[in-house]
Structure 1
Amino acid sequence: MTAVEIVAYYSTGEPMSDCQVQVFAPDDRSAPWRTGQCDAQGNYRFTPDLSKRGRWTVRVESPGHSNFIDILI
């Protein structure tokens, strides 16, 4: 199994504690494939479906802040 771990930080360097996470698979950009929450250190880990190759998008969000990262799998 291949796991992906992201670490979310604010621009100040402080971790995005308990922020909301949405993971979008390459085959459906309109609905999250998985949702979750970062831990107190801003960490989030998921295991993608390796049969869905392409660009996965992870979006993190807290009140007034959001960001995303694209990951090629």
Structure 2
Amino acid sequence: MKRRIFSFGWTVLLTVLSGLSLPSTLWAHGVGYRVLESTDRAVVVECYYSDGKPMSYAETLVFGPKDSDIEYQNGRTDRHGRFAFFPDINGTWRIETGDGMGHKVEGTAEVRAAEAGKKEAVSVAKGGTAEKPPVTLGAFLGVSLIFNLCCAILLMRRKQ
């Protein structure tokens, strides 16, 4: 009788261990943002997780339209996941928010000058996005699932 190098139990154990070795950010759920309407010059951004919970007290960085690498403002969101800043020039402002546990959202707010005769209000283009897992990750997980199911079927047939 041949000695089996790997039994079904070892195969399952190796599969689980290889799955745990993936970076923790791959297991994170999605995040999103939306620019809220404002009646003054403030731009208010709300950040949230894909399940609707706010990204409370997450670190936020704001970058201006002219020097996109130079930080304009930093801070944290409030308990409702909101962050406000006062832009000093028109253009596309970039906002990055991360909770320090692998969840990060990057967004933009398009700030345009107020119409003549109106208050200091700015027009902000509404936007929002939800972070989606990369297509390559989904393909890898799908192929891995099919491969593991085929291995399990082959091992069960061998036992019979």
TM-score by length of 2: 0.43
* Matching residue within 20, 37, 48 for 1:9: 48
The number of residue pairs the alignment matches comes to 71
Structure 2: which 5+ residue stretches go unaligned? 1-39, 112-160
Q: CA offsets, 1:5-60, max 9 Å, x none?
A: 111101111100100000000011112110010011101111111xx221101111
Alignment-derived partner of residue 132 in structure 2: none
Query: What is the CA–CA distance in structure 1 between the aligned matches of 2:70 and 2:103, rounded to whole Å?
Result: 20
Q: Output the amino acid matched with 2:86.
A: T
Q: Which has the higher contact order (CA 8 A, sep 6+)?
A: 1
Alignment-derived partner of residue 68 in structure 1: 106
Alignment-derived partner of residue 96 in structure 2: 59
Kindly indicate which of the two structures has a greater share of residues assigned to helix.
2
Structure 1: which 5+ residue stretches go unaligned? none
Structure 1 outlier segments of 4+, above 6 Å: none
Q: Output the amino acid matched with 2:75.
A: G
Kindly indicate which of the two structures has a greater share of residues assigned to strand.
1
Alignment-derived partner of residue 154 in structure 2: none
SS at match of 1:12: coil
* Matching residue within 35, 54, 61 for 1:22: 61
Q: How many percent identity over aligned positions? A: 32
Measured after TM superposition, the shift of residue 69 of structure 1 is 1.4
